[in-house]
Amino acid sequence: MGENVKHVAIVAGEMSGDLLGAGLMDALRQRFPNARFSGIGGPQMLARGFESHYSMDRLAVMGLVEVLGRLPELLRIRKSLRERYLAERPDVFIGIDSPDFNLGLELALRRGGVKTVHYVSPSIWAWRPERVHKIREAVEHVLCLLPFEPAFYEKAAVPATFVGHPLADMLPVESEQRVARQTLGLPEDGFVVALLPGSRGTELKFLAEPMIRAARLCLQRFPDLQFVAPMVNGRRQQQFEAVLNRIDPDLPVRLVSGRSREVMAAADVVLLASGTATLEAMLLKRPMVVAYRMAWLTVKLLRPKISLKHFSLPNLLAGEALVPELLQEDCTAEKLAEAVLSWLEHPERGEALRARFTAMHQALRQNANVRAAEVVAGLAEGVKP
């Protein structure tokens, strides 16, 4: 069983998608040991023998306005992949997240007879719900990370499965702060704040400065406070260092290459960009302050379409504001510092938060890689999930 599957195409547009793609590849290889994987992927997928036709960095761009400068290149890449896979006809195509790029590609491939899956539901429950009609045309199945998402697709007759999140499976329910500090060479005593301004250049462009200025303000209240900032790669580190040297080169912030999970585990509070990192911080049971900024025109265009009280994953899962969210004009150094200091000054709030985060962690533990692979393998073999 499975020898007929020779080619699985995957497009992952960012680091979080690379994690999902790598786990999916591992699980699919249990079913199809000889499968070939190609498309666009990141370092974890490449380490598993993935054949990437383009660097994943070329797709990592956020916001409507921010995309415009890159649009010709993105369209060229999508056209190239469309032509390649209509000719090669992989047994199944999986678009991981990046819906603005992947859904158009999935639609063209499905119309050409290629079976398609979208992994990570677009936020149709938050904004642009009309996208569900395009999703119905573009894919055979949607793999959902959040438990409340399949209900939205059921109403529109789109097959969807809640698979949970691989990070919830990977991370232990109890995380050891002391061990993480020892691993990073940090003192076991004293407060540590993790700074995660994002993995994309556009995110650092908007978030590095307010986070650095917030750190400086926090030092006025806790002079011995330490900051650690994990950088996803050398380019992002240079970008962050340039802002740091301009604003406060003496700020006690230690830059770490990668290792974001250990840094968050070692921290007392995490100040971070909205995105998958908020889920990871939740699974590590860490108090956090979530920040985000985009180009003003992007926000102006998006706000009328958004019907959402919360935008961070922990608050979305809880259905209430468990952690502070500071978006756009609220994302100031003063407000970020105030929110961080509130966690440090009231540790009892952190204890209550950990109990909630533990229950949410358990709900997301669904053996996600295997569940996702079962759906993909079934489609590849002509079996409906």
Count of the separate structural domains present in the chain: 2
When pLDDT is averaged across residues 2-23 and rounded to a whole number, the result is 85
Domain identity same for 146 and 294: no
Domain identity same for 342 and 202: yes
pLDDT of residue 2: 42
pLDDT at 125 exceeding the cut of 80: no
Please spell the DSSP secondary structure of 328-359, one letter per residue: GGG--HHHHHHHHHHHHH-HHHHHHHHHHHHH
Domain identity same for 54 and 185: no
Cα gap 32→63, rounded to integer Å? 37
Residue 247 lies in a domain: yes
Domain extent, residue 339, equals: 172-364
Residue given tokens 């916001």 in the structure block? 63
Domain identity same for 159 and 17: yes
Question: Model pTM?
Answer: 0.81
Domain identity same for 179 and 313: yes
How far from chain centre, in Å, is Cα 214?
Answer: 24
Domain identity same for 176 and 159: no
When pLDDT is averaged across residues 216-228 and rounded to a whole number, the result is 96
Domain identity same for 355 and 371: no
The 3-state DSSP class for residue 151 equals helix
pLDDT at 141 exceeding the cut of 50: yes
CA-CA distances (angstroms) from residue 183 to 177, 186, 253?
A: 10, 8, 17
**Residues 6 or more apart in contact with residue 33 via CB below 8 angstroms:** 2
Please spell the DSSP secondary structure of 230-266, one letter per residue: EESSHHHHHHHHHHHHHH-TTS-EEEEES-HHHHHHH
pLDDT of residue 384: 67
Domain identity same for 121 and 181: no
pLDDT of residue 292: 86
Residue 1 lies in a domain: no
| Maximum separation of any 2 CA atoms in the chain, in Å | 64
pLDDT of residue 275: 84
Residue type, 80: S
The 3-state DSSP class for residue 20 equals helix
Average per-residue pLDDT for the chain = 90
When pLDDT is averaged across residues 292-310 and rounded to a whole number, the result is 60
When pLDDT is averaged across residues 32-59 and rounded to a whole number, the result is 94
Residue 126 lies in a domain: yes
Cα gap 37→257, rounded to integer Å? 28
pLDDT at 199 exceeding the cut of 60: yes
Domain identity same for 152 and 192: no
pLDDT digits (tens, 9 = 90+) for 369-380: 999 999 999 998
pLDDT of residue 78: 95
pLDDT at 300 exceeding the cut of 70: no
pLDDT digits (tens, 9 = 90+) for 322-347: 999 998 789 999 999 999 999 999 99
Q: CB neighbours (10 Å) of residue 79?
A: 12
Cα gap 148→289, rounded to integer Å? 24
Domain identity same for 139 and 56: yes
% of the chain exceeding 90 in pLDDT: 74
Cα gap 134→137, rounded to integer Å? 5
Cα gap 24→98, rounded to integer Å? 17
Residue 2 lies in a domain: no
pLDDT of residue 64: 47
**Residues 6 or more apart in contact with residue 21 via CB below 8 angstroms:** 10, 12, 41, 42, 44, 45, 50, 94, 96
Residue type, 125: W
pLDDT at 67 exceeding the cut of 70: no
When pLDDT is averaged across residues 69-86 and rounded to a whole number, the result is 91
Computed from CA positions of residues 342, 343, 346, 350, in that sequence, does the dihedral angle turn out positive or negative? positive
**Taking a C-beta distance cutoff of 8 angstroms, is the pair 179, 262 a contact?**
no
In the chain, beta strands by DSSP E? 7-12, 36-41, 51-55, 92-96, 116-119, 141-144, 160-162, 192-196, 226-231, 253-257, 269-273, 288-292, 325-327
Cα gap 214→205, rounded to integer Å? 16
Read off the CATH number of the domain in which 152 is found.
3.40.50.2000
pLDDT at 127 exceeding the cut of 70: no
- Of the listed ranges 6-20, 54-68, 114-128, the least confidently predicted one is 54-68
Residue 385 lies in a domain: no
Residue 347 lies in a domain: yes
The 3-state DSSP class for residue 177 equals helix
How far from chain centre, in Å, is Cα 153?
Answer: 21
pLDDT of residue 303: 55
Cα gap 32→43, rounded to integer Å? 22
Residue 68 lies in a domain: yes
Computed from CA positions of residues 174, 178, 179, 181, in that sequence, does the dihedral angle turn out positive or negative? positive
Domain identity same for 201 and 146: no
pLDDT of residue 326: 94
Q: CB neighbours (10 Å) of residue 356?
A: 16
When pLDDT is averaged across residues 146-166 and rounded to a whole number, the result is 93
Residue type, 221: R
Domain identity same for 188 and 328: yes
- Of the listed ranges 23-37, 48-62, 131-145, 160-174, the least confidently predicted one is 48-62
pLDDT at 276 exceeding the cut of 90: no
